[in-house]
Amino acid sequence: MRRSITAGGQVNSMTLVRGLWKLLVGVKDALVLLAMLIFFSLLFVALSVKPNSVTPTSGALVVDLSGSLVEQPADADPLSLLSGNAGVAREHRLRDVERSLETAAISNNVKAIVLDLDAFTGGSQAAVAAAAAAVDKARAAGKPVLAYATGYSDDGYQLASHATEIWLNPLGAVLLTGPGGEHLYYKGLLDKLGVTTKIYRVGEFKSAVEPYIRSDQSPAARAANQALADALWASWRSNVLAARPKAQLADYIAHPDAVALAAHGNMANAALKAKLVDHLGDRNAFNARVASLAGDADGGGINKYRAIPLDRWAASHPEKTGGSPIGVLTIAGTIVDGKAPAGTAGGETISGLLLDELARNRIKALVVRVDSPGGSVMASEQIRSAIMQAKARNLPVVVSMGGVAASGGYWVSTPADKIFADPATVTGSIGVFGIIPTFQGSLAKLGLTADGVKTTPLSGEPDVLRGTSPQFDIMLQASIEDIYARFTTLVSQSRKLPIARVRQIAEGRVWAASSAKQLGLVDAYGSVDDAIAEAAKMAKVDPAGATPLYIEKQPSAWKQMVKSFFTPDRSADDPSARDPWSRIAAKPDQLLLRALADARSILGGPAIQVRCLECESNVPPATPRDISIEQSLLAWLAH
């Protein structure tokens, strides 16, 4: 007995020592992190103060869009950034870019505008169209707008087509592929692993679940996806040709092989001949051209011009205040339960922000800016309920749809008195689904079994080891059908459509707004500014005196500082960001990463979802997220 006590005492002592050691290591790591934050904070302050004194007061506004164009930049986790585990790309907020271009258009200090698209990774088609409209305003005001890139893809060329001059590197190319592409299907792999995927859904076209139960698209999904891609491509061509009517787009797109052969493989010359670009030249030639318009740089140097950085210009031209405030509630990213940082639509976060603002009794009307593929049913309803509180106060509610407003994104739009969208907005997807994987087949392959006892039919459910019970399946499917009935009823009441008609155009089908407008799901085409003006009119406020009051959580200064230091600038360290051929070669990896991340997200999300994964495949990723698991798996597969 004494030996046992002594042995126990030794074990307890060792446990205490190990615990103390872990505590000391944790304290050390925390102190190192704190020291790094203090160091970089001081460095950030120093760099923020010094360059302001040398920023030119006049010259060319440089709109360097290295990274993506988004509705709301994500508030990345600083610890993930510091550890290098966050898959973060640089992001530019759409309304900052629009405001900068619009203020530059009327400034005598801005002699020209440069669109640096060398490392532009894209944005939703609607977001690019909105930025292009701001470029049009600058051109209409007489500002020269010059675009440059080593290579242009669809998004970059759509924006560049609105410039006064399009420059292309002589070694570059204009590669226009259009929407579409492959999707990953998991059925074969799940069968080999013995995983059974239980699907609960309503809607013939709710094809988000098909990768888990099929090896290819169903005929219904293929028809719907083709129609969506065709509508988006028609909208893209219309936008580009309106800006550049002399471009010989039809032949260039339809016969890329013949174009390449006719140019003896020189794709830059092919683009010039087809009038897709105006000039071929490297950075030196382009900079010299800008310098002839904006003046040589004060510090001298060869082929350097007086450049006004976008972030400095945006900071010195902040959003308007005063006037009659029109609230603008931003719902961007996947809709999730609880609280969430910017770039993800947390139900509790967004509803809390709106209710707090309503309690202040400041806003005259509400504009809901939606750029979301949906997500959690509960969070979507929580946000919708908060918007209904605005209607209960007799505030006009107008929805402005961004790149995507589908599934839960449409659910939160149903309180609207009027819905504006871009023709390329992806919307609809009025359907509900749930997915639960079970592993009885996997266990059998390993020689494992599971058994237990029950006190009710729902004991241990969902049973992922032996398979869900018939009672559980019936209950969950009935719940999903009930939510679908609620969804379609909300749409029927909001859009003043017979319920039978709503069910015809619902079924989980995804629509481009160009089609959704004809179906009655959207009222009019227009920007968020159009929505604000309409909301002001409905509130009997002069639109000229209306000022948007953005209802959103502002990111903390220190998080912005950490993000500015640790977010990679692809234009500086990744030559493939500029080479169009390398971009195409990287697409398979990006496709696999996205598929794996989507699978993790959908399987780890709520049991019942109103989410449109089909929509996300038509919109470039806008929200950085931790994809370290997917990156590690991809690296393992590569080896």
pLDDT, tens only, 340-370: 989 899 999 999 999 999 999 999 999 999 9
Based on the fold, state whether residues 256 and 155 are members of the same structural domain. yes
Which pLDDT score is estimated for 350? 97
Side-chain-side CA neighbours of 382 within 13 Å: the count stands at 21
**Quick one: angle between helices 219-243 and 125-140, nearest 10?**
10
Say if residue 283 is exposed, middle or buried (CB neighbours under 10 Å; 0-12, 13-18, 19+).
middle
Round to whole Å and give the CA distance between 530 and 512: 19
- Judgement on whether residues 118 and 182 belong to the same structural domain of the protein: yes
Omega before 462 within 30 of 0, i.e. cis: yes
Average pLDDT over residues 481-510: 95
Rounded CA-CA distance 348/383 in Å is 8
**Cβ-based neighbours of 327, under 8 Å, separated by 6 or more:** 354, 357, 362, 363, 365, 366, 367, 390, 395, 548, 549, 551
395 and 501 share one domain: yes
Q: Is residue 484 part of a domain?
A: yes
Q: Are 339 and 539 in contact (CB under 8 A)?
A: no
Which residues on adjacent β-strands are paired with residue 311? none
Into how many domains does the chain fold? 2
Q: Is residue 446 part of a domain?
A: yes
Least confident of 146-160, 228-242, 470-484, 553-567: 553-567
User: Do 353 and 456 share a structural domain?
Assistant: yes
Q: Is residue 220 part of a domain?
A: no
Average the pLDDT over each of 175-189, 447-461, 471-485 and give the range with the smallest value: 175-189
Indicate the Cα dihedral angle 129, 131, 133, 134, nearest 10°: 180
Asked if 70 and 127 touch (Cβ cutoff 8 Å), the reply is yes
Higher pLDDT, 180 or 154: 154
Residues 123 and 155 in one domain: yes
Q: What is the 3-state secondary structure (H, E, C) of 226-275?
A: HHHHHHHHHHHHHHHHHHCCCCCHHHHHHCHHHHHHHCCCCHHHHHHHCC
Q: What residues are labeled active site?
A: 206, 407
Amino acid occupying residue 48: S
Residue 528 falls within a domain, yes or no?
yes
> Is residue 337 in some structural domain?
yes
Q: Looking at residue 603, what is its pLDDT?
A: 62
Q: Is 333 found in the same domain as 309? A: no
Residue 423 has pLDDT above 90, yes or no: yes
What is the reported pLDDT for 50? Answer: 42
CATH number for the domain harbouring residue 112: 3.90.226.10
DSSP per residue over 331-397, as a string?
A: EES-EESS---TTSEEHHHHHHHHHHHHHHT--SSEEEEEEE-EEEHHHHHHHHHHHHHHHHTT--E
**Which pair of structure tokens corresponds to residue 7?**
């042995």
Mean pLDDT in residue range 529-538? 97
Q: Given pLDDT bands bounded at 50, 70 and 90, which one contains residue 30?
A: low
- Distance, in Å, from the CA atom of 562 to the CA atom of 128, rounded to the nearest integer, reads 28
Range of the domain at 525: 324-558
Strands of the sheet with 145-152, listed across from one edge: 279-280, 165-174, 145-152, 110-116, 59-64, 307-309
Mean pLDDT (whole number) for 581-592: 63
- Helix, strand, or coil (residue 412): coil
Judge whether residue 14 has pLDDT over 50.
Answer: yes
* 310 and 328 within one domain: no
- DSSP 8-state assignment for residue 51: G
Decide if 15 is inside a domain: no
* Nearest to 509, CA basis, from 152, 150, 151, 226: 226
Query: Which amino acid makes up residue 181?
Result: G
Is 110 in the same domain as 240?
Answer: yes
Same-domain status, 444 and 533: yes
Q: Is 496 strand, coil or helix?
A: coil
The answer to the question of residue 260 being in a domain is: yes
| Mean pLDDT of the 115-130 span | 95
Q: Structure pTM?
A: 0.85
Contact (Cβ atoms closer than 8 angstroms) between residue 338 and residue 371: no
**494 and 537 share one domain:** yes
pLDDT band at 208 (very low <50, low <70, confident <90, very high): confident
195-209, 263-277, 422-436: least confidently modelled range: 195-209
Reference 581, options 51, 172, 58; nearest CA is 172
Q: 437 and 584 in one domain? A: no
Residue 2 belongs to a domain: no
Which residue did the predictor score with more confidence, 29 or 382?
A: 382
- Per-residue pLDDT, 180: 85
Give the model's confidence band at 186: pLDDT under 50 very low, under 70 low, under 90 confident, else very high: confident
In the structure, what pLDDT confidence band is assigned to residue 553 with cuts at 50, 70 and 90?
Answer: confident
Q: Which two tokens stand for residue 520?
A: 């009655």
Sheet with 91-93, side-by-side order of all strands: 91-93, 67-70, 120-123
Give residue 9's pLDDT band: very low, low, confident or very high (50, 70, 90).
very low
Cβ of 390: how many Cβ atoms within 10 Å?
Answer: 22
Largest CA-CA distance found in the chain, in angstroms, rounded: 96
Encoded tokens for 440: 């009885």
Q: What is the pLDDT of residue 4?
A: 41
Summary mean pLDDT of the chain: 85
Q: Which residue has the tokens 């004809």?
A: 518
- Whole-angstrom CA distances from 27 to 20, 30, 188 are 11, 5, 48
pLDDT at 584 over 60: yes
Q: 292 with 393, same domain?
A: no
